[in-house]
Amino acid sequence: MTGYNRVALIGLGLIASSMAHALRKAGLAGEIWGHARSEETRAAALEIGICDQVFETAAEAVRGADLVVLCVPVGAMGAIAAEIAPHLAVGCTVTDVGSVKAAVVEAVGPHLPAHVHFIPGHPLAGTEHSGPRSGFAALFSNRWWLLTPLEGTDAGALARLKACLTGIGANVDEMEVARHDLVLAVVSHTPHLIAYTMVGVADHLRRVTHEEVIKYSASGFRDFTRIAASDPTMWRDVFLTNKDATLDILGRFTEELFMLQRAIRMGDGQMLHDYFTRTRAIRRGIIEAGQDTAAPDFGRGAPGGESR
């Protein structure tokens, strides 16, 4: 069986709403129940039709579910796990969509009863938009969904979850927890921190006016602002819970930056050319892997799939 009779989505933002759309489109969920703290979000979820029922508490939303997906910020997962634990059905699978895995395992794992299957996960997909109205079924199409199964994970539960995620268009892979957090610090977490920093620098640099920043942003700065528009609560939790890996990669970035500063100061054009040639090859590899397109995009296209 590749689908689930009842899916409970805890937290109804971009990822959860996209999952709901994708599961319905693929016919992989008999019914979808949901929970959100905000009354406005709960009403929107019912209005859009991403959930069959929406509840004020997470405990109510997980009753009878055979798949529970935690779609809340990493910092909130421990409290949610403690709330839902007594109400989880025997044999259900609990997964999550957090960008950090070690912190999620530490926060969620101790609360869950032995009769459920806990399989941490992370879809490398998203946009800078948030909320239930921002979701769309194709968000996970050809995007990687990493699972970090723990020792002793039930093979049948893992295979069923993999089949379901593949059914909504994702490429599913397995990765060890610590490895996941290091890899994501390189490909997502540190780049987001740099984007936030660059936008902050522009905001504080009084020699460039606010009007100039906005007017001429159809350059590299525009792409920084897109990334920096992501949900602040989620990214606060990511940096606080993946502290060691992010600081490691940020330190390496600083060393590279100093090297480039010296090359510019010394007029070492050959070094700069060689460096940019090597890094350009990585961009080509991303395109060849089908994770982006080489087509020009001047910020006017449809919502895309920003990996997080």
Local structure of 298: helix, strand or coil:
coil
C-alpha span between 13 and 48 (Å, rounded) = 13
pLDDT in tens, 40-69: 999 999 999 999 999 999 999 999 999 999
How many CB atoms within 10 Å of residue 71?
A: 25
* pLDDT, tens digit, 9 for 90 and up, residues 95-106: 999 999 999 999
Determine the residue type at 31. Answer: E
Question: What span, in angstroms and rounded, lies between the C-alpha atoms of 111 and 113?
Answer: 7
Instruction: Output the CA–CA distances (angstroms, integers) from residue 67 to 11, 16, 96, 131, in the order listed.
Output: 14, 13, 10, 21
In the chain, what's the furthest Cα-to-Cα distance?
A: 67
CA atoms within 13 A on the CB side of 61: 31
164-179 residue pLDDT tens: 999 999 999 999 999 9
**Domains of the chain with bracketed CATH:** 4-175 (3.40.50.720), 179-288 (1.10.3660.10)
Q: What tens digit of pLDDT does each residue of 245-282 get?
A: 888 888 888 888 888 899 899 999 998 898 888 877 77
Q: State what percent of residues in the chain have pLDDT above 90.
A: 55
Which helix (H) or strand (E) segment holds residue 93: the answer is strand 93-96
Q: Do 177 and 148 meet the contact criterion of CB atoms below 8 Å apart?
A: yes
Please report, as a single letter, which amino acid is at residue 78. G
Q: Is the pTM of this model over 0.85?
A: no
Nearest to 217 by CA among 204, 231, 232, 202: 202
DSSP string across 145-199: EEE-PPTT--HHHHHHHHHHHHHTTPEEEE--HHHHHHHHIIIIIHHHHHHHHHH
Amino acid at 258: F
Query: Per-residue DSSP letters for 106-158?
Result: HHHGGGS-TTSEE--EEE----S--SGGG--GGGGTT-EEEE-PPTT--HHHH
Q: What is the pLDDT of residues 210-256, one digit of tens each?
A: 666 666 656 666 677 666 677 777 778 888 888 888 888 888 888 88
Predicted local distance difference test score (pLDDT) of residue 239: 83
CB 109 within 8 A of CB 118: yes
Q: How many angstroms separate the CA atoms of 125 and 308, rounded?
A: 6
Residue 217's pLDDT is what?
59
Averaged pLDDT score across all residues of the chain: 86
**pLDDT-based confidence at 149, cuts 50/70/90?**
very high
Only one residue has tokens 């999952």, namely: 19
Query: What is the rounded distance in angstroms from the CA atom of residue 233 to the CA atom of residue 212?
Result: 29
At residue 304, the pLDDT reads 40
